[in-house]
Structure 1
Amino acid sequence: MQVNWRWIQAARNSCAVLSAACEREGFPLQVVESPADDITCYSLNSISEPAFRDEIANTGCITVVGGPHATACPREVARYADYVVVGEGEYTLPRLLENLRNGGDGRIPGVMAGDWFKPATTSVRLDAYPAFSEIKGYIEISRGCPHTCGYCQTPRIFGCCMRHRSVDEIARFARRHSQLRFVTPNAFAYGSDGIHPRWDRVERLLAACKNQIFFGTFPSEVRPEFVCETSLELVTRYCANKKLHFGAQSGSDRVLGMLRRGHTVSDILHACDLCREQGLEPVVDFIVGFPFETDDDQRATLAMIQEVARNGMVHVHRFIPLPGTPLAGSVARDLLPETETVLGSLALRGRLTGSWNDPAVRFFRHTPK
């Protein structure tokens, strides 16, 4: 039985992780750029899903679809896919493939097959699965997030309790990379509950990895309230990056409160100041167009964007109402003309990146047709 993985650039790390998990159970995944027999697997987010829906529905092979969109909208995906993996895939996908190889109907916990579904009764312990195998990827060091930001799918997919890969396992996989970049919702939360940092554990991790380390930069960004003298001293002592990437999301305390972000505008400004004092360039994320954002809220965000851009970089995206989140089904508000003008000007000056007009741009720029 041949099992294929449909290559999608935005899901490249999922490919590395699930290839390793399946390979260990005797199901090597063949990477393909179009569906092929016997089985083709897909990992879709809510932006890429519309582009692959017809392909999946019209292919002649068995199709298995997972990823954030499948987890949030399994019944919708089950209308055109044969099997939908809901939630974490390291344990469920190999079990599904084994079931199908043995002539089963795919009705196992964690998989929607037609109208049948039973939730998975397990969660993934990261140390129980390899970070990658032949297809190398970033090393996922933590999973889950205790912060329930209104726009974010992470705690809805992986839960609110953080799970961490052990230092020894991270160091073992790190030896296969010349440069290290990690996958985590908050790099500075490593080893902690995600609210109360454990700097001793972060330091033990960094000291154990002998490679060139990039920590607190994409895809291991941090939260602004975790930026402090201790965290920055660890970065400057052990790491190679000269930038620190963290999420502000809004320059309005009212909006931050409604989003349940768990930090304030002053936390953002303080983080920027600390970065500059330590010789690190802040790279700060913002989201514009929240549905409840007033003109004054948007102007406050715009003012903060301009402030950050004076001595740092800004990354801006248009709000996307992701399914499975409290803001699912809402509509992004229009941007003020002055917002469009300032964002465009900063982009031309090389101080701002992102996709504030077309939120899908970053997902399709390198995706095979």
Structure 2
Amino acid sequence: MKIYWRHIPQANNSYAALSAACEVHGYNLEAAEGPCPDVTCYSINSIDERLYRDEIAGADCITVVGGPHASACYREVARYADYVVVGEGEYTLPALLFAIEEGRDPPPGVATAAGYTPARHTVLLDGHPPFSAVKGFIEITRGCPFSCGYCQTPRLFGRCMRHRSVDEISRYAARFRDIRFVTPNALAYGSDGVHIRLDRVERLLRSLDGRVYFGTFPGEVRPECISQQALDLIVETCANTRLHFGAQSGSDRVLRLLHRGHTVEDVVRAVDLCRDNGLVPVVDFIFGLPFESDDDQRATLDLVRMVTRAGRAHIHYFMPLPGTPLKQSRPRPLLPETEKILGKLALDGRITGSWMDHEIRFFRRTPHL
């Protein structure tokens, strides 16, 4: 049985991880630019889903679809795909391929038009290689204890953080000259995500040989985790000259409604610490949140301007994602003054991203998981 992976640039890291997981079971996932017999696998999100829906529906082969959108909207996707892998795929996808080959019913964790039985397992990162023949970033942590209203991560991977061991990370990192990680919060490595364990972060960083980029996309940090001790460690052991973290709003009221778990003061303190330690802060913001007032939006704009005096900002326009608490919400329009100031900051090279077109914002980013 021939198995193909539909090449979608934004899903390259998923390809690396799932190709490695399938390889252990004797299945080779060959990259393809379209559906191919016998089986073609897809990983889609809520922005690119519309680009591939008709292709999947009309494919002259067995189609297997996973990814953030498929996991959140598995009933919808099962109407045009043969099989939908819901949630983590390292165990489920090889089990499904075996079932297809043997002519059996799909395993738990796979939805079809006939129904869905939830998976009864949790993936342990050390039980599956981060990549094999197809290289990808090394995922060191999965899950997030926070419950930000716009974010799919805790809904896909749970709120309990799971970590890959230092020995396993070091073994795979040895294959790179430049070492980068996938994690929802790099400084939370080895911890529960709330009570930071810098001793474990230090053990990881000191175990690595090569140029280590830690706390940069796709493995950012959270602002309240940034301390002088953490920055001393990063400056001493890592190659990056930037630190990437999310502020999302300049309003404490909005941050509380989002359940972000930090304050505006945490962001200001993190920016100042980065500047004092020679690191450029790169800070994410979301405009157009559904419960954002005019004053809240102006406060976020003020914080963006403050950040860009010392570093860079990456701007998003709110998009309600399926499976999140804000999935039914509508984005709030931007104030004319917001559009004007963001446009000027962009022309000056002080901000990146898109606050008008989700696809521009998304397709300039690094692959999703």
**TM-score, normalized by length of structure 1?**
0.98
**Secondary structure in 2 matching 1:14:** helix
Shift in CA distance, 257/74, structure 1 to aligned 2, threshold 3 Å: same
For 1:216, the equivalent position in structure 2 comes to 215
Q: Compared with structure 1, are the counterparts of its residues 139 and 59 closer, same or farther at alpha carbon in structure 2 (3 Å cutoff)?
A: same
Deviations 1:279-300 (A, max 9, x none): 1010000000001100000000
What is the deviation of 1:366?
9.2
SS at match of 1:194: coil
SS of the equivalent of 1:245 reads: strand
1:139–1:173 Cα contact (<8 Å) kept: yes
* CA 1:365–1:212: 2 relative to 1, 3 Å: closer
Shift of 1:364: 3.6
TM-aligned CA deviation for residue 157 of structure 1: 0.5
Report how far residue 219 of structure 1 moved. Answer: 0.4
What secondary structure, in the 3-state scheme, does the structure 1 residue paired with 2:323 have? coil
Q: Deviations over 1:221-265 (max 9, x none)?
A: 000000000110111010000100000000000000000000000
Return the letter of the residue paired with 2:68.
P
Q: Which amino acid aligns with 1:125?
A: L
Q: CA deviation at 1:362?
A: 3.5
Partner of 2:70: 70
Structure 1, residues 203-236: CA drift from partner, whole Å, max 9, x if none?
0000001110000000010000000001101110
Give the structure 1 partner of residue 349 of structure 2: 350
Q: Distance in 1 between matches of 2:335 and 2:100?
A: 53
Secondary structure at 1:45 match in 2: coil
Aligned to 1:292: 291
Aligned residue identity for 2:215:
G
Q: Deviations over 1:96-155 (max 9, x none)?
A: 00011111232x100012122110000100000001001100000000000000000000
Q: Following the alignment from structure 1 to structure 2, what is the Cα–Cα distance between the partners of residues 117 and 156? A: 17
1:146 aligned onto 2:134: no
In the TM superposition, 1:69-218 aligns within 5 A as 69-106=69-106, 108-218=107-217
Contact 1:316 1:354 in 2 (8 A): yes
Contiguous gaps of at least 5 residues in structure 2: none
For residue 306 of structure 1, what is the aligned residue in structure 2?
Answer: 305
Q: Secondary structure at the match of 1:360?
A: helix
Kindly state the Cα deviation for residue 355 of structure 1 after the two structures are TM-superposed.
Answer: 1.1
The aligned counterpart of 1:330 is 329
Runs of 4+ in 1 over 3 A off after TM superposition: 362-367
Report the residue type matching 1:306 in the other structure.
Answer: R
- TM-score calculated relative to the size of structure 2: 0.98
1:255-277 Cα offsets, whole Å, 9 max, x none, are 00000000000000000000011
SS of alignment partner, residue 169 of structure 2 = helix
Aligned partner of 1:268 in structure 2 is 267
Q: Deviations over 1:162-206 (max 9, x none)?
A: 000000000000011110000000000000000000000000000
Match of 1:34 in 2: 34
Aligned to 2:6: 6
Distance 2:208 2:20 in 1: 22
Q: Which amino acid aligns with 1:52?
A: Y
| Partner of residue 54, structure 1 | 54
Query: Contact between 2:316 and 2:361, CA under 8 Å: does it hold in 1?
Result: no
State the secondary structure of the residue aligned to 1:301. helix
Once residues 366 and 54 of structure 1 are traced to their aligned partners in structure 2, the CA distance between those partners, rounded to angstroms, is 24
Aligned amino acid, residue 342 of structure 1: I
Q: Supply the AA of the counterpart residue of 1:288.
A: F
- SS, match of residue 306 in structure 2: helix
* Aligned mates of 2:365, 2:332 — CA distance in 1: 28
Question: Which amino acid is 1:88 matched to?
Answer: E
How many residue pairs match? The answer is 366
- Structure 1 residues 366 and 164: CA distance shift in structure 2, 3 A: closer
Q: Distance in 2 between matches of 1:366 and 1:166?
A: 27
Counterpart residue type for residue 31 of structure 1:
A
SS at match of 1:11: helix
Q: Percent identity?
A: 63
Match of 1:277 in 2: 276
Task: Look up the SS of the partner of 2:42 in the other structure.
Answer: strand
Q: Does the 8 Å contact 1:145/1:194 carry over to 2?
A: yes
Distance (whole Å) between structure 2 residues aligned to residue 115 and residue 303 of structure 1: 52
Tell me the equivalent position of 2:45: 45
Q: For 1:246, what is the secondary structure of its paired residue?
A: strand
* Cα distance in 2 between the residues matched to 1:243 and 1:112: 42
Asked if structure 1 preserves the Cα contact closer than 8 Å seen for 2:86 and 2:110, the reply is yes
Uncovered stretches (5+) of structure 1, i.e. residues with no partner: none
Aligned partners of 1:222 and 1:245 also within 8 Å: yes
Contact 1:146 1:160 in 2 (8 A): yes
Matched, 1:248 2:251: no
Secondary structure of 1:40's match?
strand
The DSSP-based 3-state class of the residue aligned with 1:90 is coil
Query: 2:97 corresponds to which letter in structure 1?
Result: L
